[in-house]
Amino acid sequence: MTVRVVLADDQTVARAGFRALLDLTDDLVVAEAADGARAVEAVRTTRPDVVLTDIRMPGVDGLEATRRIAGDRSLDGVRVVMLTTYQVGAYVFEALRHGAAGFLLKDIEPDDLRAAIRTVAEGRGLLDPAVTRRVIEEFARLKAPEAAGAERLAVLTGREREVMAPVAAGLSNEEIGKRLIMSPLTAKTHVSRTMTKLGVRDRVPLVVLAYETGLVRPGEH
């Protein structure tokens, strides 16, 4: 399986390093960009499977680029992965809120990078549920549940709300099925319907919403 990738980073050396790693596999780097605006343009032109983008770039940064890509319905099949040198930061949380499929540390091991790209290309949200969850929980502790966010959950059935909790814990459809005594297919159906009703593309926004609305609290899985 060849995964088409757009690399966005204002540092030429960083882009060259990631490209060198991907050139050793069947993955194909279809475009590079030095800022967010060019990254969005490249995505609209090349329609990649995955975008690897730095968060901090001049002009349009990675957060805004992610927001624009995630907000463009014609780019629904494109998944954005944020690259960062920090494990915890407000900008990482905002990246997830803006529609990123997850994030990776820039010093990631080559094999892990390639596995992560394939994970995201296959439409499986979080790259590292444990690490990503720690980031979400850290910022969930700093803010009270949002009433406006809670109202968004009113469109869900009781079962769909129930499914959101194990999703927030990073469980797979099979694991959700075992916890809630249903088949993996039924779990997948509930998760898909939940995403459709809430207008999100993958599991990451569901995790963010679960914490923001108080449906799931830090440490409660």
Give the mean pLDDT of the chain. 83
The verdict on 107 and 149 lying in the same domain is no
CA 173 to mean position of chain CA atoms: 17
Residue 149 confidence class, pLDDT cut points 50, 70, 90: low
Helices 129-140 and 203-212: angle between axes, nearest 10 degrees: 30
Average pLDDT over residues 30-56: 94
The dihedral built from the CA positions of residue 104, 122, 45 and 30, taken in this order, carries a sign that is positive
Do 65 and 40 form a contact (C-beta atoms < 8 A)?
A: yes
Higher pLDDT, 104 or 91: 104
Residues 123 and 154 in one domain: no
CB of 201 closer than 8 Å to CB of 76: yes
Identify whether residues 50 and 90 lie together within a single domain.
Answer: yes
How confident is the model over 125-141, as a mean pLDDT?
Answer: 60
Can you name the residues that pair with 32 across neighbouring β-strands?
A: 7
- Three-state SS for 6? strand
pLDDT of residue 193: 94
Distance of CA 84 to the CA centre of its chain: 14
Structural domain harbouring 123: 4-127
Judge whether 78 lies within some domain. yes
pTM of the model: 0.72
Question: Among 59, 92, 127, which residue terminates a domain?
Answer: 127
Q: How far is the C-alpha of 200 from the C-alpha of 156, rounded, in Å?
A: 13
Q: How many CB atoms lie within 10 A of CB 220?
A: 10
Say yes or no to pLDDT of 15 above 60.
yes
